[in-house]
Each structure stands twice: as structure tokens, then as C-alpha cells.
Amino acid sequence: MKNLKQLTAIAMCSVFAAMQVSFAAMDTGLGVGNGGAVINSTDSNFAGLTTGTNSATLEFKGNSHVNWNTLNVNGNETLNFNAQDGVNGISVLNTVNNNMSKIYGQINANSGIKQLIISNPNGVLFDGATFSTAGDTMITTKNLTGADVNNINVNDGSWGTLVTPDNNLVSVQVLNDSDFSVGGKFTIVAPQIVGQNSRITAGEGLKLITANGADFIAQNKSILPNKAVTRLKAMDINGNIEIVNDIGALSITGTDIKGDLTAETGGIVCVDGIHDDTGALQKMTTITGNADLTAHNQQLIMRDTKVDGNLIMENDGGAVELRNAKIGGNADLTTTGWQPINHQKYNHYVHVSGNTDIGGDLNISSSQNIHIGNYQVTNNPYSTASTANQWKGDLLPGELNVGGDIKAEVTQGGHIMTTINTTADNIDYTAKSYNDGTKIYGGNILSDDKATITANTYKFKSDGYIGGLKSNDLSKVDDKIIHVMEEYQFIPDDTTSHEYMNIDGGVISRIETPKQSTAGKDVQVYIRSNNNLIVNGANAGVINLVAPDKKITVTGPDVHAKEINVGGRTGTLQIDFPGRDFTTNYTNIKDGVVKTIKPTDEITYDLTNKPNTGYNSPDFKQTDGTNTTYLVGPEGPVPPPPPQQQPTPPNDDNVRVINPIPEDPVKPMANTPIAYAADLDDDEDVPCRKNVDGSVTVVRAYPVMD
């Protein structure tokens, strides 16, 4: 927690001495029936009191300390603080000794009052009140009875009172259509600050400080569980606002902030909309500037909030959640702490959930878990009420749309999990595992079997498995995902869990995993593309790809793997670069046989030179018993003449693999393997074979002479 600096700005440069003068108490005529407003004493710079019908005006000729026995202002009353005879830059310290001050009426300070300080150690209530001043204002519950008006420190570590007789924190409250207009800086310092259904305009910003209440809250958790020491609801704040909490919760709901929001707290932070009893949203929180939120070892939450500028949410230990938010600029979400698994504290999660839109880039860094999506837990195996030893629950719906890029990184043994549709320009995921010497945790990039990730380019780097999770006889997908996330499981060898991760199409420029797990098994990647897919960067174990009725292209010299397997209803497979160091496997629909293309193999094809050939020609269909496969491709395709005679392919074989052509030592030849497999209604202008079920049936390669 940052130390609060001494508010030396309160001390005005003045030559006036704060000499206390005793006199008989003056009844201002205000607050009748509400305890009254009685002045006990003033100093030599107090120039007099003028009372009128329901009004009192205090005159000052310099910095002054006015000590009140009680201070209350009824709804039809006005209290004025005036700098006399054109004197400017006056600071007035107004200390109240007895009971909470209740202000229902109006308080004004003229332009000569540079700073007005109202101090009451019993709290201050503004209820339907009006407050107007051209200078700075401070409302505090520090006991400043004996303070020098020329040198005031509100952070001296001692509250006059921390708690009321009914076990509530002493507070400053601004309620029920109160209206503050402060030309300078407006500061409130108290153990608790509450604002509700009111307006505050602060020309030089609003600062709310709840300091030195930590000991009481820490020692009285049963009395004040998760006490919101700063609570703003349905407020209208015009100007920048800064909030500093030593400990305790910060709650901002349904509030309009016309400026920047900066908050730091050692407790829970929740910025949210207002909901009715059914949970329906009634009013969002809106911030026209930037929002910068910092928490320490607790929960940091923003829900149902619109931020026109950039958003920073940073937690050095605990959870960060962004849900149903509209962010105009960039969003940076970070949680950096680390705790042992199942430590029964706040796990270090980042959740981006609900329906969230981000106009710029989204950057996420978490020490343990990142979940684009969210879930509700119905069974916690560590709870005394648990009836099972596995986590159970339900995934929650939503959608994430990012106008820029998404970059997400897990640093110490978590997962990057995506369970809601996610869209961005470019996506870059990195998941690092954690090894405690006994067990490996996390380090996987995961999804369920429903969400689709959409981007122009993708980068996936994982210490373990990349792909989806599926249900089994004991667990539905939702339960498995929750259990894997909560237990930080490392799952590259868990083949019973493997399922495809859905992407919409585009270019994968990086797939990076270890070749093998520590158990010596191949690390797997499972990716399904809804549209044409290009893979031009990989360094992985076994890559499993499918693109139903679409084209997969594996290209470029930076693709390395043990195997690339193509399955399902993939339309066209193209491998168009020399120097492959991986084996390609696919299934022929005609006979169900897995075809293997080794790195050193060339691929050829059967021509379709028969009468009436063409797209979907009924004369050239084959069936596997349920699906129909048509030959496609231009009539009578003629390949370029080979450099030497190749064996004539058998008439009954539709696809075959032949050995590499021996190189001519005099005239070396560069083999460029090209593999194709066509699917139904794919008008590829190349001679190729159509497979309804997604298998490869026609592949080709022509030797290219140097």
C-alpha cells in the first residue's frame, strides 16, 4: 500500500498566527431541533458572525480555526464562510466536537476562501445538502481540535474515533440528491466514505482516502465482514477521482464518472452496475476517461461497466475479473502472485467473461490461470458439504470481441482456457507450466467443444497440450474443465480428454510445444478450423488438424513436427514446400485406409480421363456405404511430362505414393511435394479427388527441374 503523503497543501502560506481566543459560545441559529450549531471558540482572524433568517455568515480576515460544540444545518438553512474585504487565499479549519454533523441545507464559501476544512471525529452526514466553494475542500473525521491551521497533517495515524456505538465505522456520507460544487480539489478522509444518489463536481479532482482503519477491520472481521469502506452508488461525479483504501472493500455501482478513475486498495475492489433482485441490470457504471485499478491479495472485479478510455486492472495476489464490460481503448489485466494449489485463499485467476467488447488491445498476464469465459461451481471437493471428490459446475455463456490484438500469458503453472466465442485481429497465447519437484502443474492452452476463436493470425505456445477437452462417462465437459482449472492439472498425456479446439480460420504462425512429455509420450495439438487454414509456423510434437469442407495449407520452411494428421471432412490438403521433416497421415474414404506420406515421399494421382467427367459427375461416384464421393477436376487433366518414366499407376487405385525419383547426378532435380484432397462442391481449378467425409483421395506432386 502506498503511504499517504502529508497533505501540506492544506497549510496555507500565511503570516497570521493561529491564536486561540476563548469566549462565550455563540448560537448561530442553525440546526434548531437537530442539536443546533454552536461555536465554542475562534481565533484572532475570525472577524465576526452575522445571523439572519435561517442563515449564518462567518467572516474571516485570515487563516482561522473555528471550534464548534455542534454543527448541524437544517434543510431550509444556509451556512456561509466569507473572506472579508477582498482578502484571498484564506484557509479555514472548522472542527466539531460533539456527535455526527448533519447537513441537510446549504454550505457556501466565497472566492476568498482558498481552502475549507470541516473536521468532525464523529462523522459528517450530507443528506440532500448543497455545498458550493470556489477553492479546495476537505471533509475529514480526524480530530483536529488542537491543530494549527497553518500546518495540518491529516495522516498522523490517529483517528478521534474509529467505530460508532453500533459497531459501524465512523463515516462521511453524501446522500439523497446532495450536490457538491468544488472549484478546486475535493478531499474526503475518514474510516468509511459513502456516496449515494448525489452529484459531485470537483474542478481539480476528487480524492477519497480511507486510511488507518486497518487495525480495527482486521481485528473485527466478525463485525465487519468484507466491509466496504468506500462505497459509491448511483453517483454523478464530474472530474477525475482517486480512491485510496488501506484495507477493506471498495464498491462503485451504477456511477457516472466524467473523468479518470484511479483506485488502490488492500481489500476487495468491485466496480459494477446496479441490478434488481432478479439480477437484471438497471444501470451501468460509466467512466468517460481511463480507469486504473490496483488491489492487493484480494479480488479485483469490474462488471457491467463502460470505460471510454484505457483500462488497467492489476492485482499482486488474487483474482481479476472483467465481465460484461465495454472498453473503448486497451485493457491490461494482471495478477502476479502465487499460492500453493488449493490454499483456500483467492486463486490467481484472470477471468474475462460475459459479453465484453474491447476497442483496442487486450493484454492478460496471470501467474496461474487465465479463463476467457467463466463458470459457477456446484461442488467444491474441499468443502465440508461436498459429496464428491471432483469439482463440478456449469460454464457460463458470453462473447468477447476485441478490436485489436489479444496477448495472454500464464507464467507459473496455469492454463489459458477459452469457453466463449472470442474475436480479435491477432491472438498470441503462451502457457508455462510449474514444477514443484513432485508434480507439474498447468501449462496448457485449452477450450471446450463449443467456443470458437476468430483471428487473422494465431500464435500458440504451451509447455503441454493445446486443444479442447471432452466429456467422458464420469464427467461432462463443464465439470472436467472446472476440475482441470481448479486443480491446475498438466494434461498432455491424458488422451481421454483430447478434443479439437475450434478456430474460425486464418493463419497459424506459431504452434510450439515440447516434442514429448516427461513421461515420454508425444505431446498433442488438436485444432479444428471452420474456414480455410494456413499453417506456416510450428515446432511441436503431433499436430492434428481438420477443416470441414475447407482447405488446409501447410507451407513454409518453419513447420516442424513429428506428425501432422489431417482428419474429418477436410476439403483440400496442400503441402507445398520442400524439406519436410514430418510425416503426414490422412484417411482414404474409398477403403478407409490411413495413407501416410513420409518426409521423403513424392505424391502422384490418377487422372480422370473418361467420358462425361466433370464436377459431381454421376458417372464417377463411389460410396463407402453411407456417403457418396464424386470425382472432380477439369476434364482430362494432363500433368507436365516427367523427367523420366514413372510407373503406371494401377487402374483400381485412386491414390498412391511412390518412392522418390533418383536424382540425375549430372542434372540435379528439386522435388517439390504438393498434396491435394478435394471435398464436395469445392471448385478447385486443379485435378483432384472429392471426399464427402473429409478424407484425402487425390494428391499430386510434380518434380521441378532446377
Kindly state the average pLDDT of the residues 434-445: 89
Strand 299-303 to strand 269-272: parallel, antiparallel, or no bridges (unpaired)?
Answer: parallel
Among 17-26, 418-427, 501-510, 672-681, which is the least confidently predicted range? 672-681
Helix-strand-coil split of the chain, %, nearest 5: 5, 45, 50
Kindly state the average pLDDT of the residues 79-87: 92
Kindly state the average pLDDT of the residues 332-357: 78
Kindly state the average pLDDT of the residues 645-666: 43
pLDDT single digits (tens) 365-375: 998 899 999 99
pLDDT for the residue numbered 150: 87
pLDDT single digits (tens) 108-144: 999 999 999 999 999 999 999 999 999 999 999 988 8
pLDDT for the residue numbered 633: 30
Of 145 and 2, the structure prediction assigns the larger pLDDT to 145
Share of the chain above pLDDT 90, in %: 53
Distance, CA of 510 to CA of 518 (rounded, Å): 22
Query: CA separation (Å) from 516 to 441, 464, 513, 535?
Result: 16, 9, 8, 21
The pLDDT of residue 449 is above 90: no
Distance, CA of 116 to CA of 98 (rounded, Å): 20
pLDDT for the residue numbered 338: 66
Taking CA 371 as the corner, what is the angle to CA 365 and CA 374, rounded to the nearest 5 degrees? Answer: 140
Among 13-22, 173-182, 187-196, 316-325, which is the least confidently predicted range? 13-22
The pLDDT of residue 472 is above 70: yes
pLDDT for the residue numbered 4: 36
Residue whose C-alpha cell is 480526524: 142
pLDDT-based confidence at residue 261 (cuts at 50, 70, 90): very high
Kindly state the average pLDDT of the residues 53-64: 95
Residue 151: all three cell numbers together: 500546518
The pLDDT of residue 275 is above 70: yes
pLDDT-based confidence at residue 651 (cuts at 50, 70, 90): very low
Distance, CA of 565 to CA of 554 (rounded, Å): 11
pLDDT for the residue numbered 663: 47
Average pLDDT, the chain: 80
The pLDDT of residue 543 is above 60: yes
Of 560 and 339, the structure prediction assigns the larger pLDDT to 560
pLDDT-based confidence at residue 441 (cuts at 50, 70, 90): confident
The pLDDT of residue 696 is above 50: no
- For residue 495, the SS3 value is helix
Kindly state the average pLDDT of the residues 639-659: 43
The pLDDT of residue 621 is above 70: no
Of 227 and 200, the structure prediction assigns the larger pLDDT to 200
Distance, CA of 285 to CA of 357 (rounded, Å): 15
The pLDDT of residue 474 is above 50: yes
Kindly state the average pLDDT of the residues 232-243: 97
Residue burial 67-98, b: 16+ Cβ < 10 Å; e: rest: bbbbbbbbeebbbbbbbbeebeebbbbbbbbe
pLDDT for the residue numbered 638: 37
Kindly state the average pLDDT of the residues 591-596: 65
pLDDT for the residue numbered 107: 98
Among 183-192, 319-328, 629-638, which is the least confidently predicted range? 629-638
Under a CB-based contact definition with an 8 Å cutoff, are residues 62 and 35 in contact? no
DSSP per position, 501-517:
EEE-SEEEEEEE--SB-
Of 457 and 655, the structure prediction assigns the larger pLDDT to 457
pLDDT-based confidence at residue 678 (cuts at 50, 70, 90): very low
Kindly state the average pLDDT of the residues 454-478: 91
pLDDT-based confidence at residue 316 (cuts at 50, 70, 90): confident
pLDDT for the residue numbered 33: 87
Distance, CA of 479 to CA of 491 (rounded, Å): 15
Residue 149: all three cell numbers together: 491551521
pLDDT for the residue numbered 432: 95
The pLDDT of residue 308 is above 60: yes
pLDDT for the residue numbered 229: 83
Residue 147 CA to chain centroid, in angstroms? 45
pLDDT single digits (tens) 386-426: 778 888 999 999 999 999 999 999 998 889 999 999 999 99
pLDDT-based confidence at residue 492 (cuts at 50, 70, 90): confident
Under a CB-based contact definition with an 8 Å cutoff, are residues 152 and 7 in contact? yes
Dihedral, 28, 33, 35, 39 alpha carbons, nearest 10:
0
Count of beta carbons in the 10 Å neighbourhood of residue 542? 21
Residue 193: all three cell numbers together: 466514505
Count of beta carbons in the 10 Å neighbourhood of residue 587? 22
